[in-house]
């Protein structure tokens, strides 16, 4: 399966779906998911570590968009990944924070 990506010169090129999944911003997004899950696991008994991992997840949230623009790796998959992470990990966690 392949997708079309546009580079900074507005030219389209075809890349594989696997290649898109390993773009730098998407790797940052996967790490963001992992840090959010770790923070939820630690939440009941380790509030300080929860805040640390939650903070890392927040930093990565800001950094993945920057990386997408810097490396010209913005894709629809990355946008959906970013939105779903925000919805799943930021909104439910806010009332649960100690």
Rounded to two decimals, what is the model's pTM?
Answer: 0.76
pLDDT, one tens digit per residue, over 68-94 is 999 999 999 999 988 888 776 666 555
pLDDT, one tens digit per residue, over 28-57 is 999 998 998 898 899 999 999 999 998 898
CA atoms of 43 and 45, how far apart (whole Å): 6
Q: Where are the domains of the chain?
A: 22-96
Please classify residue 32 by burial: count the beta carbons closer than 10 Å to its beta carbon, then call 0-12 exposed, 13-18 middle and 19+ buried: buried
């Amino acid at each position: 399966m392949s997708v079309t990506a546009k580079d900074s010169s507005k030219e389209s090129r075809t890349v594989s779906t696997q290649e898109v999944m390993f773009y730098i911003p998407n790797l940052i997004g996967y790490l963001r998911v992992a840090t959010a899950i770790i923070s939820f696991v630690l939440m009941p008994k380790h509030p300080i570590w929860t805040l640390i991992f939650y903070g890392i997840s927040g930093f990565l949230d800001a950094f993945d968009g920057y990386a997408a623009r810097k490396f010209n790796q913005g894709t629809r998959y990355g946008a959906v990944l970013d939105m779903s992470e925000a919805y799943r990990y930021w909104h439910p966690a806010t009332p649960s924070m100690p």
